[in-house]
Structure 1
Amino acid sequence: MVIEQVLDTRPTPIRVPTSFLIQLASLALTCNYFQFQTQFFQQIKGTAMGATMAPSLACLYVAAFEEHHIYKSEWWPLIFKWWRYIDDVLLIWIGTDAQFFGFLDWLNQCNPNLQFNHYIHHSQVDFLDITVMYQNQKFTTSLFRKSTDRNTLLAFDSFHPHHLKTNIPTGQFLRLRRLCSSTTEYITQAQNMIVRFQERGYPYKILKRAYKRALYVRDFLFLKSTHQQDPTVNCILPFSTSSKTISALIRKHWAALALDKFFRSLRFMYRRGRNLRDILVHTVGHPADMTYEGGHRPCGRCSVCQHTNTLTQFAHPHSGCLYKLSGTSDCNTRGVVYVITCPCQLLYVGKTQRSIKTCIIEHRSSINISKENAPLVSHWIEKSHTTADLQFFVLEVVLPPARGGDYSLILLRHEQRWIFRLNTIIPHGLNSEIEWNHFL
Structure 2
Amino acid sequence: MTSSLSQYVDYFLHPYVAKLRSHVRDTLHVIDSISEIRWKPTYLWATCDVTSLYTCIEHARGLEAIKYWLDRDPSFPDKHKQFIIECIHFILTHNYFLFEDKFHLQICGTAMGTRFAPSYANLFMGHWEESSFWQNTLLGAGLVYYGRFIDYIIMIWDGEASVLSGILSSFDDNLLGLKFTFEISKLSTVFLDLALSTDTDLNIITTTHFKSVSVNSYVHASSNHHKQWLNNIPLGQFHRIRRNCTRDVDFKSQSVSLGNKFLSKGYDPALISDSFDKVSSSDRSTLLNQSKNKQHKGLRLGYDTPVVHSGIEASTLRFITNYNQSFKAINKILNDHWSVLKCDPHLGPTLQDRATVTYRKARSIKSILAPTRLRSSSTSTTDKLQQGPLGNHPCGRSRCITCRHLLSQTQVCSSIRGTTHAIKSSINCLSTYVVYLIQCGCDLKYVGRTTRTLGTRFLEHRRNAIKGLNNHSLSRHFKTFHQQDPKTMKVMGIETISPNTLGGDRFIMHCTALHIMVVAHLYIYIFFANKYNIILAYIFTLTHLSIST
* TM-score normalised over the length of structure 1: 0.60
CA contact (8 A) 1:233 1:265 kept: no
**1:306 aligns to what?**
none
**1:170 aligns to what?**
235
Residue 222 of structure 1: SS of its match in structure 2? helix
Q: What amino acid sits opposite 1:130 in the alignment? A: L
* Structure 2 CA distance for partners of 1:19 and 1:273, relative to 1, 3 Å: farther
**2:85 aligns to what?**
22
How far is 1:58 from its partner? 1.5
Q: Distance in 2 between matches of 1:220 and 1:197?
A: 26
Partner residue of 2:368 out of 276, 287, 310: 276
**2:287 aligns to what?**
221
Q: Distance in 2 between matches of 1:277 and 1:46?
A: 38
CA contact (8 A) 1:232 1:265 kept: no
How far is 1:167 from its partner? 1.2
**2:109 aligns to what?**
46
CA contact (8 A) 2:92 2:110 kept: yes
**2:388 aligns to what?**
none
**1:250 aligns to what?**
334
1:211 aligns with 2:276: yes
CA contact (8 A) 1:237 1:243 kept: no
**2:318 aligns to what?**
234
**1:62 aligns to what?**
125
CA contact (8 A) 2:221 2:230 kept: yes
Q: Which structure ranks higher in relative contact order (CA pairs < 8 Å, sequence separation ≥ 6)? A: 2
**2:306 aligns to what?**
none
How far is 1:255 from its partner? 4.7
CA contact (8 A) 1:239 1:271 kept: yes
How far is 1:12 from its partner? 2.4
Residue 293 of structure 2: SS of its match in structure 1? coil
1:143 aligns with 2:208: yes
* Structure 2 CA distance for partners of 1:206 and 1:16, relative to 1, 3 Å: farther
Q: Distance in 2 between matches of 1:62 and 1:235?
A: 38
How far is 1:280 from its partner? 6.8
Q: Distance in 1 between matches of 2:356 and 2:85?
A: 38
**1:88 aligns to what?**
152
* Structure 2 CA distance for partners of 1:285 and 1:60, relative to 1, 3 Å: farther
Q: What amino acid sits opposite 1:199 in the alignment? A: S
Q: Distance in 2 between matches of 1:266 and 1:123?
A: 52
Instruction: Single out whichever of 262-271 and 147-156 deviates more from structure 2.
Output: 262-271
- Aligned pairs for 1:354-373 within 5 A: none
How far is 1:54 from its partner? 1.3
How far is 1:188 from its partner? 1.2
Q: Deviations over 1:208-260 (max 9, x none)?
A: 22222322231123324265954754322232455443333223434554556
1:267 aligns with 2:356: yes
Q: What amino acid sits opposite 1:265 in the alignment? A: R
Q: Distance in 2 between matches of 1:8 and 1:27?
A: 20
Q: Deviations over 1:303-327 (max 9, x none)?
A: xxxxxxxxxxxxxxxxxxxxxxxxx
Q: Distance in 1 between matches of 2:375 and 2:117?
A: 22
CA contact (8 A) 1:3 1:22 kept: yes
CA contact (8 A) 2:68 2:127 kept: no
* Structure 2 CA distance for partners of 1:54 and 1:138, relative to 1, 3 Å: same
Structure 2 segments unaligned to the other structure (5+ residues): 1-63, 299-312, 384-499, 503-549
Q: Distance in 1 between matches of 2:110 and 2:119?
A: 11
CA contact (8 A) 1:79 1:93 kept: yes
Q: Distance in 2 between matches of 1:247 and 1:15?
A: 48
* Structure 2 CA distance for partners of 1:19 and 1:206, relative to 1, 3 Å: same
- Aligned pairs for 1:342-353 within 5 A: none
Partner residue of 1:6 out of 54, 65, 69: 69
How far is 1:402 from its partner? 11
* Structure 2 CA distance for partners of 1:196 and 1:7, relative to 1, 3 Å: same
CA contact (8 A) 1:123 1:135 kept: no
**Matched residues, percent identical?**
26
* Structure 2 CA distance for partners of 1:212 and 1:156, relative to 1, 3 Å: same
* Structure 2 CA distance for partners of 1:38 and 1:107, relative to 1, 3 Å: same
How far is 1:72 from its partner? 0.8
* Structure 2 CA distance for partners of 1:243 and 1:113, relative to 1, 3 Å: farther
CA contact (8 A) 1:132 1:139 kept: yes
Structure 1 segments unaligned to the other structure (5+ residues): 292-400, 404-440
Q: Deviations over 1:106-135 (max 9, x none)?
A: 111124532111222211111111000022
CA contact (8 A) 1:141 1:180 kept: yes
Partner residue of 2:178 out of 114, 128, 148: 114
* Structure 2 CA distance for partners of 1:134 and 1:44, relative to 1, 3 Å: same
* Structure 2 CA distance for partners of 1:214 and 1:246, relative to 1, 3 Å: same
**1:101 aligns to what?**
165
Q: Distance in 1 between matches of 2:239 and 2:193?
A: 14
CA contact (8 A) 1:37 1:285 kept: no
Partner residue of 2:140 out of 63, 69, 76: 76
Q: Deviations over 1:248-301 (max 9, x none)?
A: 322343455455653522221123445438967238664459x9xxxxxxxxxx
Q: Distance in 1 between matches of 2:369 and 2:130?
A: 46
Aligned-residue CA RMSD (Å): 3.2
CA contact (8 A) 2:224 2:362 kept: no
Number of residue equivalences: 296
In our comparison, the structure showing a higher alpha carbon Rg is 1
Q: Distance in 1 between matches of 2:356 and 2:218?
A: 26
How far is 1:189 from its partner? 1.0
**1:196 aligns to what?**
261
How far is 1:40 from its partner? 0.6
CA contact (8 A) 1:130 1:142 kept: yes
Q: Distance in 2 between matches of 1:114 and 1:277?
A: 45
* Structure 2 CA distance for partners of 1:18 and 1:231, relative to 1, 3 Å: closer
* Structure 2 CA distance for partners of 1:278 and 1:245, relative to 1, 3 Å: farther
Q: Distance in 1 between matches of 2:357 and 2:126?
A: 40
How far is 1:179 from its partner? 0.7
1:182 aligns with 2:266: no
**1:158 aligns to what?**
223
Residue 181 of structure 2: SS of its match in structure 1? coil
Residue 180 of structure 2: SS of its match in structure 1? coil
